[in-house]
Structure 1
Amino acid sequence: MDWDKLRIFHAVADAGSLTHAGDTLGLSQSAVSRQIRGLEESLSTILFHRHARGLILTEQGELLFDATRAMTKRLETAAARIRDSEEEVYGELRVTTTTAFGTLWLAPRLPTLYAKYPELKIDLMLEERVLDLPMREADVAIRMKEPSQADLIRKRLMGVRMRLYASTEYLRQNGTPTSLIEMKDHRLVCQSANAHQVAAGGALVRELMTQQIRSTFTVNNYFGVLQAVVNHLGVGVLPDYLTEDFSQLVRVLPDVESAEVPVFLAYPEELRHSKRVSAFRDFVLEGVIAYRRQRTMPSSE
C-alpha cells in the first residue's frame, strides 16, 4: 500500500476537508483529490461520503483511519526516541495529570527542571480524564491511582489524603470547629458531588454532608476549592500536599481525613530509554523526596 497516499488520506480524514488537508500538506486540492481517488481504487472501496459541508468517513474509511492513526502515533514515538540525544535533553514532552496536582504541586516546581534543561518543552495537559499513554495521547502521566493499562512502566510516588483546612483569618472571624457536629455552623468548601474526583475524596465529602451543613460552596476542582479557602470563604476539603506551599492554611479537625490516595508516575514501555522522560522522572522523584523531607521535619525537631 502506497504510504504517500495513506499519509494524505490521514490528513484528509483528520481535517474533514480536502482544502484544509491540502493546506497542511502543501498540496493543491486537486492533487489531494487525485491521491484519495487512487487509494480508493487500489482498495476497491469508498473511503469518504462527500457532502456540501465536507467529508465524512465511511465504515471502511473509519477502519483505515484507525490504522493510520495508530501508525502515526508509533512513528511519533520512534521520532521522539531518535531525537533523544545521548548527552542532551531537549524537545517536547507531553505530561498529563489532574488540574489540582499539576497546578498546585507540579507547576511551582518546574523552574528547577527548566534551569537544568532550558531547551526542554513541556506540554502540560491538566485533565481529570485518563489519557491513553500507549496510544500516545501523552508521554508521561501522574495519576491518583495505579494505572491499569498494559505496557506501562509505573512508579509509586507518594500517598495523598484529603483533609479539612481553613485560613487563619476565617477561623479568627468564625471560630474553629472542634467536632464534626460543629461543622454545621461553618461553610463547607469542596468539590461538587458530580465532579470527577478520587473516590476517597468523594467519600469524605459525603460523610461531611451528613452533618446537616447549612452553607456550602462547591466547585469542580481542588484549585477552585483552594482559591475559596485562602480567601476566607469557609472550611475546605483539600489534598494534604498543599500544607508546605500555603502556610496560611490551618488544619481543622485533625482526626478527620480521607483514605490514602496513591500517586503514580507512568509512561509507555517503549519510552524506557527516552532521555526526556528520564529527566522528567528524576525531577519528579527528587521533588517527592524533598516534599517527604519537609513533611517529616517537624516531627524530628
Structure 2
Amino acid sequence: MDWDKLRIFHAVADAGSLTHAGEHLHLSQSAVSRQIRALETSLNTTLFHRHARGLILTEQGELLFDATSAMVKRLDAAAARIRDSEEEVFGELRVTTTTGFGSLWLVPRLPALYKKYPDLKIDLMLEERVLDLPMREADVAIRMKEPSQADLIRKRLMAVHMRLYATQQYLDEYGTPVTRADMRSHRLICQNATSFQVMAGLRMVQALMAEDMPSLLTVNNYFGVLQGVLNHLGIGVLPHYVAHDVPGLVRVLPDVDSGEVPVYLAYPEELRQSKRIAAFRDFVMEEIATYRRNAQISAGASE
C-alpha cells in the first residue's frame, strides 16, 4: 500500500473530517478526498461512513486505523530515539582490527567504554584481512597502515614498535643476550615469516632469523607470541605497548627495533555524523593519551 495514502487516511480518521485533516496536512479537501477514494478502491472496501456530522470509520476502517496507529507510534518512537541519540550512544558498532592489537590493546580497555555507554553493542572482528569499509563490511577500523581509499575519514592514533621481550624467569635460567649473535643460544618466538604482518615486523623477524636460530616457535598472531613468552619458552617479538600492560616483561637487546608502525583509525565519510563512531573514536584517543602519559611516567621512573 502507498504510505502517502495511509498517512492521509490516518489523519482523516484521527480528525474525523476531510477539512480538518486537509488543514493538518496542508492539502485541499478535494485532494484529501481523492486520496481516500483511491485507497478504498485499491483495498476494494469502504473505510468511512459519511454523514452530516463528519466521518465514522467502518469495521474495515477500524482495522486499518489500528494498523496505522501502531505504525505512527513506532515512527514517533524512532524519531524520539534519533533526537535522543544526539546526546545518547546506543546500538551496534562493528569494529575491525588485527588480532594482536584487538586482543592485546583494545579488548582490555573495553570495560571503560561499556561503563560509559552501557547500551552500546560492539561486534569486534579480529582478523588480518583488511575489510572494505565503504562496502560496510565494518563501521570503523583500526589499521597498522594508512588507508588508501579516498572516501574514508582517517586519524593517526599512535606508532607501534616491534621489540624483543622475555620474562625475568627465562633470563635467569638461560641468560640475557648482549648482542644479536647471542640470540643463537635462545629460542625465538615470533610470527612466521610467511604469515600476514606489518612489513616492519617482518623485516625484523627476517633479520633475526638470519642469525641461524637453532630453535623457533612461530605463531600466526601476537597474542600467541605473548603466551609463549609468558610461559618462559623464549624471547619474543612483540609490539612495544604490551610491555606497559603486561607486568613481568623485560626488554631484551634495546638496539633491536622495527622502527615506527603507524596506527590509524578510519571510517566511511557517510558515517561522519554517527554518534557511535564519535564515541568510539574519542574513547580510543583518550585511552591512547592515557597510555602515553603512563608510558612517560614509567620511563621517567626507570631513569
Please report the TM-score for the alignment, with normalisation by the length of structure 1: 0.72
Q: Tell me which moved more, 83-92 or 243-252.
A: 83-92
C-alpha spacing 1:86/1:191, structure 2 compared with 1 (3 Å): same
Question: Which residue matches 2:258?
Answer: 258
Question: Which residue matches 1:213?
Answer: 213
Deviations 1:137-179, CA, capped at 9 Å, x for gaps: 0000000000001211100000001000001111111010000
Distance in 1, Cα, partners of 2:83 & 2:97: 24
In structure 2, runs of 5+ residues without a counterpart are 1-78
Deviation at 1:297, TM superposition (A): 1.1
Distance in 2, Cα, partners of 1:115 & 1:193: 39
Distance in 2, Cα, partners of 1:230 & 1:298: 21
User: For 1:138-217, what aligned pairs fall within 5 Å after superposition?
Assistant: 138-217=138-217
Contact kept, 8 Å, 1:84 with 1:274, in 2: the verdict is: no
1:276 aligns with 2:271: no
Q: Tell me which moved more, 110-119 or 83-92.
A: 83-92
Question: Which residue matches 2:242?
Answer: 242
Residue identity opposite 2:269 in structure 1: E
Distance in 1, Cα, partners of 2:254 & 2:248: 16
Contact kept, 8 Å, 1:160 with 1:261, in 2: the verdict is: yes
Distance in 2, Cα, partners of 1:140 & 1:225: 26
Distance in 1, Cα, partners of 2:256 & 2:196: 22
Q: How many corresponding residue pairs?
A: 222
User: For 1:65-144, what aligned pairs fall within 5 Å after superposition?
Assistant: 85-144=85-144
1:229 aligns with 2:226: no
Contact kept, 8 Å, 1:147 with 1:154, in 2: the verdict is: yes
Residue identity opposite 1:291 in structure 2: Y
Residue identity opposite 2:272 in structure 1: R
Deviation at 1:223, TM superposition (A): 0.6
Structure of higher CA gyration radius: 2
C-alpha spacing 1:235/1:246, structure 2 compared with 1 (3 Å): same
Q: Match of 1:291, SS? A: helix
Contact kept, 8 Å, 1:94 with 1:125, in 2: the verdict is: yes
C-alpha spacing 1:226/1:84, structure 2 compared with 1 (3 Å): farther
Contact kept, 8 Å, 1:95 with 1:140, in 2: the verdict is: yes
Q: Match of 2:149, SS? A: coil
Deviation at 1:191, TM superposition (A): 0.1
Distance in 1, Cα, partners of 2:271 & 2:244: 33
Please report the TM-score for the alignment, with normalisation by the length of structure 2: 0.71
